[in-house]
Amino acid sequence: MKLWAGRFQKALDDKTNDFNSSISFDCRMANEDILGSMAHAAMLQKQGIISEDDGKAIQDGLASIAADLAGGKLQIDMTAEDIHTFVEGELTARIGDAGKRLHTGRSRNDQVALDIRLYLRNRIPALQEQITDLIDVLCDKAEQYADAIMPGYTHLQRAQPITFGHHLMAYAEMLLRDRARLADALTRTNVSPLGSGALASTTYDLDREAVASTLRMNGVTNNSLDGVSDRDFAVELAAALSLIMVHLSRFSEEIILWCSWEFKFIELDDAFSTGSSIMPQKKNPDIAELVRGKSGRVFGDLMTLLTVLKGLPLAYNKDMQEDKEAIFDALDTVTMCLTAFTPMIDTMTVLTENMRKAAAGGFINATDAADYLVGKGLPFRDAYKATGELVALCIRKGLTLETLPLEEYQAVCDLFDNDVFEAISLERCAAMRRVYGGPAPENVRAQVARVRALI
C-alpha cells in the first residue's frame, strides 16, 4: 500500500509503478537512509516531539533493519516505491505505531536530499584515495625515469627534448587538481537539508543543527526551498568526475600511441592487455581504450544532471529522481576506471632506448642550436633563420644536426664552432631546461619530492 493511500481510491497501475519507482537504484542508499532516520528520531525525542519509548523503539528497530540488511537476513522489496518507503514500512512492521511517528516533521523531499548528500559524502574519500594512489605511482615512475630523454610534442610533431619523468609528472599535476576539486565538492555536499520538510520547513521545533552534528555534517542548509531543490553538489561532483575522465582519457590516448609499433615507447603488462581472436601477433591496449571510451558516459551523466535541473521551478519536482542514476553511474565509472588504470601504469615497461631513438630524429634540438647562436651575440630571429636553413640542409642530405659537418654549419653562419655539438646534445638540452617547471632531471626529482610531500 502506498503512503498516500488515504487520498486515493485505486492503487497505481502496475507497469506505471515500475516507471515511478526508484527502489532499483536508490536501494544503494539504504544505510544512509537509516542513519539519517536515526539522527532525526533522536532529535525528535530530545525535543520532546516523540516519547522516549517511541524514540528507543525507533532506534532499535532501525538498527535491527540495518543489521538484517547487512547480514542478508532482510531483502529489499523491489516493488516498494523507494528506499525511504521501504525502510519506514519495514520499521512499522517491526515496531508498530512508533514506526509511524518517525516521519514527524520530515518529508521524503528533505529525506532524499539528505540521503544523496550522505551517500556521496561517504563515497568521495575512497575516490580521493584512488587518485592519490595513481599520483603515488606516477611519482615512483617519474623518479625512475627522471633522466630518460624523450621527444616532447606539439601538434604530435616532435618538438623539443624533455624527460619521461617530466611527462608523467604533468599528469600528477592534473590529478592533484582533481583531488582538490573533490575536496571542494565534499565541503558543499556535506551539509544537512533535513528540516526543510516538503518545501516550507515545519511547525515543529526541530533542532536542525543537532541532526547535522550527529551525522558529522558541516552545517545546515539556509533556505527550505533551496534545501529540497538543490542538486548543485551532484553537478559539481559530476563536473569534477568529468575532469578526472578528461585527464585519464588524454593519458589513455598517449598510452595507446606509445604502445603502437610506430612509437614503442612502452609495453603494457600482459595482465593489462588483450589479444585478438584472429590476429595472432596482436597485443591491444583495451584497458586504456575503455577508459578513453568511458569518459563519454561520465560527460553524459554531467549533461543529464544539468538538463534535469535547468527548467525546474522551485521546489521539489519528481524529475529530480533522475539525479541518482546519473551521479551513481559517474561515480562507479570513475572508480572502475581508476581501479584498472593505476596498476596498468604501475606495471608498464618503459622502453627508454626507443624514446631516445625517437628523440634523435626530428631535429628537436634545433631551438638549442639557435640558442647557441644567441649565446654568441646573434639576435634570436636571425639565429632562428640560420638554424632553419641548417635543418633544411640536413633534410636534403639525409643528416641530423648531430651528424652535419662543422664546415656546413659555418657556411650558413660563421659564429658556429666545434662546441655546437655539445650544445645540441639531447642530454644537455634537457638538463639545461631547469627553469621552475621545466623538464631537467633535477627539476623532475624536485617536483616528485614536492608532490610526495603534498600527498
Provide the minimum distance between the beta carbon of 107 and ligand ARG in the complex, in angstroms, as a whole number. 7
Provide the minimum distance between the beta carbon of 317 and ligand ARG in the complex, in angstroms, as a whole number. 9
Provide the minimum distance between the beta carbon of 84 and ligand ARG in the complex, in angstroms, as a whole number. 6
Provide the minimum distance between the beta carbon of 199 and ligand ARG in the complex, in angstroms, as a whole number. 10
Binding range to ligand ARG, per CB under 6 A, among 139-147, 277-285, 317-325, 393-401:
317-325
Complex with ligand ARG: residue 69 or 320, whichever CB lies closer: 320
Binding range to ligand ARG, per CB under 6 A, among 172-180, 248-256, 315-323, 351-359:
315-323
Complex with ligand ARG: residue 107 or 365, whichever CB lies closer: 107
Among the listed residues 154, 318, 414, 435, the single contact to ligand ARG using CB under 6 A: 318
Provide the minimum distance between the beta carbon of 231 and ligand ARG in the complex, in angstroms, as a whole number. 10
Provide the minimum distance between the beta carbon of 316 and ligand ARG in the complex, in angstroms, as a whole number. 6
For position 108 contacting ligand ARG by CB under 6 A, the verdict is yes
* Residue 339 burial (C-beta neighbours within 10 Å; 0-12, 13-18, 19+): exposed
Complex with ligand ARG: residue 36 or 151, whichever CB lies closer: 36
Binding to ligand ARG, residues 66-105 (CB under 6 A): 82
Provide the minimum distance between the beta carbon of 222 and ligand ARG in the complex, in angstroms, as a whole number. 21
Complex with ligand ARG: residue 103 or 167, whichever CB lies closer: 103
Complex with ligand ARG: residue 22 or 387, whichever CB lies closer: 22
Complex with ligand ARG: residue 84 or 247, whichever CB lies closer: 84
Give the per-residue SS3 of the chain.
CCCCHHHCCCCCCHHHHHHHCCHHHHHHHHHHHHHHHHHHHHHHHHCCCCCHHHHHHHHHHHHHHHHHHHCCCCCCCCCCCCHHHHHHHHHHHHHCHHHHCCCCCCCHHHHHHHHHHHHHHHHHHHHHHHHHHHHHHHHHHHHHCCCCEEEEEECCEEEEEEEHHHHHHHHHHHHHHHHHHHHHHHHHHCCECCCCCCCCCCCCCCCHHHHHHHCCCCCECCCHHHHHHCCHHHHHHHHHHHHHHHHHHHHHHHHHHHCCCCCCCEECCHHHCECCCCCCCCCECHHHHHHHHHHHHHHHHHHHHHHHHHCCCCCCCHHHHHHHHHHHHHHHHHHHHHHHHHHHHHHCEECHHHHHHHHHCCCCCHHHHHHHHHHCCCCHHHHHHHHHHHHHHHHHHCCCCCCCCHHHHHHHCCCCCCCHHHHCCHHHHHHCCCCCCCCCHHHHHHHHHHHHHHC
Complex with ligand ARG: residue 91 or 320, whichever CB lies closer: 320
| Backbone φ/ψ region at 72: left (φ over 0), alpha (ψ -120 to 50), beta | left
Complex with ligand ARG: residue 318 or 396, whichever CB lies closer: 318
Distance CA 184, CA 190 (A): 10
* Residue 120 burial (C-beta neighbours within 10 Å; 0-12, 13-18, 19+): buried
Among the listed residues 309, 320, 370, 390, the single contact to ligand ARG using CB under 6 A: 320
Provide the minimum distance between the beta carbon of 177 and ligand ARG in the complex, in angstroms, as a whole number. 32
Among the listed residues 112, 212, 444, 451, the single contact to ligand ARG using CB under 6 A: 112
For position 309 contacting ligand ARG by CB under 6 A, the verdict is no
Among the listed residues 321, 347, 352, 425, the single contact to ligand ARG using CB under 6 A: 321
Provide the minimum distance between the beta carbon of 20 and ligand ARG in the complex, in angstroms, as a whole number. 9
Query: How many CB atoms are closer than 10 A to CB 308?
Result: 19
Q: What are phi and psi of 252, to 5 degrees?
A: -60, -45
> The cell 592534473 sits on which residue?
174
Among the listed residues 109, 273, 304, 365, the single contact to ligand ARG using CB under 6 A: 109
Number of residues in contact with ligand ARG under rule CB under 6 A: 10
For position 118 contacting ligand ARG by CB under 6 A, the verdict is no
Complex with ligand ARG: residue 82 or 301, whichever CB lies closer: 82
Give yes or no for a contact between 112 and 418, defined as CB atoms under 8 angstroms apart: no
Name the residues annotated as catalytic.
155, 276
Binding to ligand ARG, residues 354-413 (CB under 6 A): none
Binding to ligand ARG, residues 11-30 (CB under 6 A): 22, 26
> What is the contact surface with ligand ARG in residues (CB under 6 A)?
22, 26, 82, 108-109, 112, 316, 318, 320-321
